[in-house]
Structure 1
């Protein structure tokens, strides 16, 4: 159900502690906004000097108000913060918006103060946003407790940046978007991003949720909440390109970056991940209306060949398809156009729009109705005829009127179908394009924006949702090569026969237990291959003994592993690893393995544990996936067995939180099953 945040967003009464007549103080801006909704609920201004603030009588303290206060905004110097919070709780406050800064962001002492305040708030049964936040607003309840005014709409913005909210307001305006809620997250001492996300998911006035976060705190909980939100969630985050601060001790750790982890979490949770405020506004413009494409096939309609080719390239670059139209659709399109028009895909009016602006609408109707299309992108000059009335485009009054009528017809065709329609126009602010926007059709000035908008509406190849973490197993005390291998074998992962040896006598005894060819590995070396501590294909006991003597003289390892050499001739080597991220927990990596793992970096990521069906999807998405089905006369390998092995490894790692990194590399996949040829684990 989540926490009850009703007192935050629809309080019975509000008090602004630290309200001021001084425009340089944040308490002035908050108070000025708060009194805008004075008719909705009592709004009290508190200033320790009393007197008047903004022409209203100010109370010298919360107690002096003489009645309970449901929500208190605290904007006082840090030295008086705890006392102000205590007074608010004593006066019955169920919610606190803490503007005051100077806590966790300042260091250990500030974190300790912040923790104490948060514990006091929770003990009183209240909730607190902040500290070090810029306030909040809820347009659906006339609650204005931030320094700026936000245009009403259906997007809830949960942000660690106030200026970003101002930029988004400007970017939303051309698309007819606005805010249902705005919350500045601050330090998240009590109410977290996850709490707010869950509450906005339940909020009837919110159609989509936008998030700007620099610190997820509990990233896995964020992904879990987003996966069940039932509404579009769009994330803009910073610092994704930095590698993990922890020094990686495996290929998995070396190949895993913050960007990979965030992208994997978003894909698993069905979150749209964006890189810029512009992209965020583009995606929200396409998703806020609630339309989703049934597939990834796009019909492109243009009134100029260049625009059509560029749009088709942009659509395909966005991961969508531009298929050839079927004969029935081509015939219907041809009826609306003239002989020189192209009716394949892209469909090019080739000047027909100037002869008959209504041809735009007729063609859009045909493309929306086509069974072989899931969405339509119209690109080019449309809007230019009506723009002529503003001195922007080129065309007479008749063409302008015709274009306006075409826009109304396009809007009607759009309402009659569930398919997404997106428009790119040279004149996105023209009257005709404004008609489209008012009908819920996204219009963009840039082709790449239109393509990105359509990609946001397309279905994903992955099932949305996270597999729950398993119950923690008994911790591993030793994670040497053989100890890790035995633990994985016990979990169900097959390995070749192996024996640990310390001298020549034990080595020769091992050769009597299983036949060659053999593999010799020096133990207690993290990267055995890099150190020359692995020898493969040793044909018989004599060759094994000779290599052992040479390797032991060179490395002096305390022990070695003698193993049966697997037949590599018909197999594919994979890597399966799990890296434990401090925000998102266990993160799995799957890809092409062996010594080529790092040079080729053909890997993909997902949150662990990974069920076999998702593992199969990950394998099929690798660039080298064709190797799994056999190439140049090689047989296909057992991909199903590989997927089950991935499930085993990732479930094992997820059940052992004491493991920072776990890796099986290579995992040999053959036509008849899998064998793990090497493994390593690193304790946290």
Structure 2
């Protein structure tokens, strides 16, 4: 892990470009930095000299006359390189580049940025930015951004300053705060991966939030995330309208940037947020100490409508709301009155109004039950304390009992209330029980602390194999066959004599393909179930007359009746590397879009998980009079394809479509590659 101690706990700080002008970034950063003036020296540098914020300044860093670990550069673009060189000459070990106008401006800017980063690395220093908004470490009193953030246990790594301000406000309102904030800008030197690794090893950080617009090395980000035990929540931009424009294969056309990011998150165990509010919900849940051991959720309410909606929303979030066992129902009945329902949802049916202590009594019973993994409380609780009076005091007492029960147990409890800011709900929140005003937020939070379907892992890329130069049909067949992929017997033909020789060598019926075309079916370049040599010759003459001279393939026709056609493909993403897609294939691939994604390579076990996660997976297990397909053979084929793609960085796209999965195995009926 890269040593970033000079960034987060420097012995002394200097700000080049410190200013008295409130409109300039050098003013805002200097003002914040001076808050920690008793902890470490803060030197202000202004080329005109004089004073800034009532403090004397130096005209150049060399005039400081004392060692400086960390230098913030907030000067116009034309002076930036000089300031960086001055910092390195004075022995600075870290630089924060606020100045913009480099890699984000085009090729010339990127070249200048690379040259600066090379000089920084050669000096053994670290550069955050340029084009960043600074950093904060509340645990070491490093305040080098324009705003202050409430101290807490969440580290936020972001390419947006305003989002950091919004998240800071939302966290503060939820009783949370930030351990660190870093705006990492253009990542010329210090990358998101470096910062993630640093925060993962930071004792003051419990959860890590990331806002990313450009991952740079997305693969390394996913690998670093999978390697840490601290929860990571990602909010990313560009997940919607952008698609794989110009993709030549079905796989490329069906794989969007959003699919790639989602696949990386699933593989690495990263929680994905859609908005800043969603990010806050997940961080609140993951900042708690309790984790569920399963997804079995007990819903508790004092109103049937709230309970029914909560159960629906919980199941939509991936939780289960099973009927409680007879012994547990009996135990609950012993604590409740006659009208109460105890099946799940557990409905107090008005008893909460008569006796608010029934809430903690039921929660204590539920969290002690081995069959309950989590409790979701929903509805009116909190409303009585708003009005005060005797009932309000009883509810406050019940909230205190409930808070103790939740803290002492190991089962997570999440609350949705119509009155989330009420005194009773504030008692719960202060004790670490998440309280939300919306049931969808409460269910989302609870789902976040349930165990993932699989252990996070991102398989490393294999060493690059000898590059291939031939992207033709028979070349890709050979490449995949050597990896263990099975194809029907085939012969390459160029003329009618070749067609007849192929018919004599292969058993019919036959398939004829114009393999010089990328999308054969769309162009009418495929003839199936050709019965004999004469019919095959006729089909060849007609096809060549329409499509012209090119290589054709005569193949033994596969038996399609007992199989399911799948698609398996890999597209190389510029940020995340090879990304595998599997789904229902053939003519339905782009119509139904029943697909799953993962970072390649994958093993056969992971490939099978992807296949069984399809919406149409029931087809693979046999429906009506059809037998189950050989899923293990299909999974091995998918894994072999992913392995080939991962080992050949020159492959932009590769796919098998269709991949025929049958009770007898898996057979690749067509394959294509884009180099």
The normalised TM-score by structure 2 is 0.99
**Structure 1 residue 104, shift from structure 2 partner:** 1.2
Query: 1:109 & 1:536 partners in 2: Cα distance?
Result: 55
Query: 2:535 & 2:426 partners in 1: Cα distance?
Result: 80
Mean Cα displacement is larger for which, 6-15 or 236-245?
236-245
The answer to whether the aligner puts 1:416 opposite 2:415 as a matched pair is no
- Which residue of structure 2 lines up, in the alignment, with residue 342 of structure 1? 341
The answer to whether the aligner puts 1:604 opposite 2:596 as a matched pair is yes
- Which residue of structure 2 lines up, in the alignment, with residue 58 of structure 1? 57
The count of corresponding residues between Structure 1 and Structure 2 is 675
The answer to whether the aligner puts 1:681 opposite 2:664 as a matched pair is no
- Which residue of structure 2 lines up, in the alignment, with residue 269 of structure 1? 268
Query: 2:261 & 2:468 partners in 1: Cα distance?
Result: 28
The answer to whether the aligner puts 1:450 opposite 2:432 as a matched pair is no
Alignment of 1:160-309 (within 5 A): 160-309=159-308
Q: Which runs of 4+ in 1 moved over 2 A?
A: 242-246
Query: 1:269 & 1:101 partners in 2: Cα distance?
Result: 32
Report the 3-state secondary structure (helix = DSSP H, G, I; strand = E; otherwise coil) of the residue aligned with 2:11. coil
- Which residue of structure 2 lines up, in the alignment, with residue 468 of structure 1? 460
**Structure 1 residue 154, shift from structure 2 partner:** 0.3
Task: Judge conservation of contact 1:75–1:99 (CA < 8 Å) in 2.
Answer: yes
Query: 2:46 & 2:410 partners in 1: Cα distance?
Result: 54
**Structure 1 residue 75, shift from structure 2 partner:** 0.7
**Structure 1 residue 612, shift from structure 2 partner:** 0.7
**Structure 1 residue 51, shift from structure 2 partner:** 1.7
Task: Judge conservation of contact 2:244–2:256 (CA < 8 Å) in 1.
Answer: no
Report the 3-state secondary structure (helix = DSSP H, G, I; strand = E; otherwise coil) of the residue aligned with 2:609. helix
Alignment of 1:554-569 (within 5 A): 554-569=546-561
Mean Cα displacement is larger for which, 409-418 or 187-196?
409-418
- Which residue of structure 2 lines up, in the alignment, with residue 363 of structure 1? 362
Query: 1:193 & 1:290 partners in 2: Cα distance?
Result: 26
Query: 2:297 & 2:174 partners in 1: Cα distance?
Result: 22
Query: 1:145 & 1:363 partners in 2: Cα distance?
Result: 49
Query: 1:559 & 1:585 partners in 2: Cα distance?
Result: 32
**Structure 1 residue 549, shift from structure 2 partner:** 1.5
Note the alpha carbon deviations across 1:44-92, whole angstroms, 9 max, x for none.
1111222221111111211111111110011111111111111111111
Note the alpha carbon deviations across 1:400-445, whole angstroms, 9 max, x for none.
1111111111111112222211100111111111111111111000
**Structure 1 residue 559, shift from structure 2 partner:** 2.2
**Structure 1 residue 291, shift from structure 2 partner:** 2.5
Task: Judge conservation of contact 1:242–1:258 (CA < 8 Å) in 2.
Answer: no
Query: 2:169 & 2:7 partners in 1: Cα distance?
Result: 26
**Structure 1 residue 245, shift from structure 2 partner:** 4.9
**Structure 1 residue 246, shift from structure 2 partner:** 4.3
Query: 2:447 & 2:155 partners in 1: Cα distance?
Result: 22
The answer to whether the aligner puts 1:485 opposite 2:477 as a matched pair is yes
The answer to whether the aligner puts 1:619 opposite 2:611 as a matched pair is yes
Alignment of 1:502-651 (within 5 A): 502-651=494-643
- Which residue of structure 2 lines up, in the alignment, with residue 392 of structure 1? none
Q: Structure 1 residues 623, 647: closer, same or farther in 2, change over 3 A? A: same
Alignment of 1:62-211 (within 5 A): 62-211=61-210
Report the 3-state secondary structure (helix = DSSP H, G, I; strand = E; otherwise coil) of the residue aligned with 2:505. coil
Query: 2:633 & 2:455 partners in 1: Cα distance?
Result: 21
Query: 2:607 & 2:310 partners in 1: Cα distance?
Result: 34
Mean Cα displacement is larger for which, 207-216 or 500-509?
500-509
**Structure 1 residue 43, shift from structure 2 partner:** 1.0
Over aligned residues, Cα RMSD in angstroms?
1.0
**Structure 1 residue 602, shift from structure 2 partner:** 0.8
Mean Cα displacement is larger for which, 205-214 or 83-92?
83-92
Task: Judge conservation of contact 1:462–1:614 (CA < 8 Å) in 2.
Answer: no
Query: 2:602 & 2:289 partners in 1: Cα distance?
Result: 30
**Structure 1 residue 173, shift from structure 2 partner:** 2.2
- Which residue of structure 2 lines up, in the alignment, with residue 394 of structure 1? none
- Which residue of structure 1 lines up, in the alignment, with residue 9 of structure 2? 10
Query: 1:122 & 1:246 partners in 2: Cα distance?
Result: 36
The structure 2 residue matched to 1:427, chosen from 411, 419, 427, is: 419
Task: Judge conservation of contact 1:523–1:557 (CA < 8 Å) in 2.
Answer: no
The normalised TM-score by structure 1 is 0.98
**Structure 1 residue 486, shift from structure 2 partner:** 1.2
Query: 2:515 & 2:198 partners in 1: Cα distance?
Result: 53
- Which residue of structure 1 lines up, in the alignment, with residue 20 of structure 2? 21
Query: 1:559 & 1:80 partners in 2: Cα distance?
Result: 61
Structure 1: unaligned runs, 5 residues or longer? 390-396
Query: 2:330 & 2:634 partners in 1: Cα distance?
Result: 48
Query: 1:596 & 1:275 partners in 2: Cα distance?
Result: 30
